[in-house]
Amino acid sequence: MRSLITILAVSVAAVMAAGAGVPGSSPTNPATRTICLDLGGESRPAICTGPASRLDGRDDICLCRDAQRVEAPVCGPGERPQAETRAFEKARKLAAEDGSLVGDLYADRPMCVAPRNR
C-alpha cells in the first residue's frame, strides 16, 4: 500500500513538473495562433471569436476568407516575428502547405507570430 501511494505521488509530481515547463501552454498564454495566408503567402486578417474573458487568451474559432488557415507558433520572450519580405512570404507559403508553421525556420529563426496582447 505504501509503494502504491509513493508511486502515485511521484507520478503526480512528474506530470505537474512537465506541464509547468511548457512555454505557452496556459489559457492566458497560448502556444499557437491562427493566421491566414493568401495564394502568395501574404498574411491576411483572421476573423476569430473567443471567450469574453481578459484571462483566457485562446480563440474558440478562427475563419479565413479567401485564404488558407494556418497554425503558427507564438514568439517567445525576447523573440520578434520575421520581417514581411517577399522572400519570407514565399518560404512561409511553402512551409504552410501542411497547415502549420510550428517547427519551421526561416534564416535560422522560427516563423513565429506576435502574441495577441502585444
Q: Which three cell numbers stand for residue 29?
A: 498564454
Domain count within the chain: 1
Per-residue tens of pLDDT for the chain, all 118 residues: 555 454 545 454 444 444 433 344 566 667 888 999 998 889 998 888 877 776 666 677 889 999 999 999 999 889 999 999 999 999 999 999 999 999 999 999 999 999 876 4
16 part of a folded domain? no
88 part of a folded domain? yes
117 part of a folded domain? no
Give me the pLDDT at residue 57, please: 63
Q: Which residues contact 79 (CB under 8 A, 6 or more apart)?
A: 109, 110, 112
In angstroms, rounded to a whole number, what is the distance separating the alpha carbons of residues 111 and 107? 9
10 part of a folded domain? no
Give me the pLDDT at residue 50, please: 74
Q: Which domain holds residue 75?
A: 24-110
53 part of a folded domain? yes
Task: Tell me the CA distances in angstroms from 70 to 15, 42, 65, one per residue in order.
Answer: 30, 12, 13
In angstroms, rounded to a whole number, what is the distance separating the alpha carbons of residues 37 and 66? 9
84 part of a folded domain? yes
